[in-house]
């Protein structure tokens, strides 16, 4: 009688283990199916294509742009755009769009002091002749911010 009882307990344990394994496999398969497929990040795609200054201005003009998007736009601006040379100490008309970008970054609600300072320092390093114009653009942007 003890042999039959032991055999019954062993069979019951084997059946319980099979059910547990089946449940674990089922849970793993459900989790694997529910994961979304990888969608490439559009920000990384922007690195591959050539952005214009107008593209960057549209990013920093959008009130819904995130802090990260603004910072990436600033980095792209610094690495890919150079101010035109001054003519007789005066900034040419072509420099206005670059100064507008600086003003919009300074004005944006999601720009913080680190982004603005980084932009200021990097532009002044590469374009020391535009220090005054950059400061004025930043000031105009900061004055246009609404602190609520």
> pLDDT exceeding 70 applies to what percent of the chain?
86
pLDDT in tens, 65-97: 999 999 999 999 999 988 888 888 888 888 999
Evaluate if residue 44 carries a pLDDT over 90: no
H helices, E strands: number in the chain: 7, 0
- Residue 76 has what pLDDT? 95
- Residue 90 has what pLDDT? 86
- Residue 88 has what pLDDT? 84
The helix-helix angle for 131-143 and 113-126 (nearest 10°) equals: 160
**pTM (two decimals):** 0.65
Binning pLDDT at 50, 70 and 90, where does residue 35 land?
low
According to DSSP, residue 94 is labeled: G
Evaluate if residue 49 carries a pLDDT over 80: no
Q: Which two tokens stand for residue 10?
A: 């062993």
Place of tokens 């059946």: 15
| Residue 21 burial class via C-beta count within 10 angstroms: exposed 0-12, middle 13-18, buried 19 and up | exposed
Give the separation between CA 38 and CA 74, rounded to whole angstroms: 27
């Amino acid at each position: 009688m003890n042999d039959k009882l032991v055999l019954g307990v062993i069979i019951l344990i084997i059946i319980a283990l099979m059910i547990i394994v089946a449940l674990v496999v089922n849970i793993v398969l459900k989790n694997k199916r529910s994961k979304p497929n990888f969608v490439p990040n559009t920000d990384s795609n922007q690195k591959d294509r050539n952005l214009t200054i107008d593209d960057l201005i549209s990013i920093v003009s959008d009130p819904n742009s995130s802090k990260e998007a603004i910072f990436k736009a600033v980095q792209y601006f610094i690495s890919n755009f150079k101010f035109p040379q001054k003519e007789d100490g005066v900034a040419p008309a072509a420099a206005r769009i670059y100064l507008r970008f600086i003003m919009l970054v300074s004005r944006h609600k999601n720009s913080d002091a680190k982004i603005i300072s980084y932009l200021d320092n990097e532009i002044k390093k590469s374009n020391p002749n535009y220090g005054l114009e950059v400061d004025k653009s930043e000031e105009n942007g900061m004055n246009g911010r609404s602190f609520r």
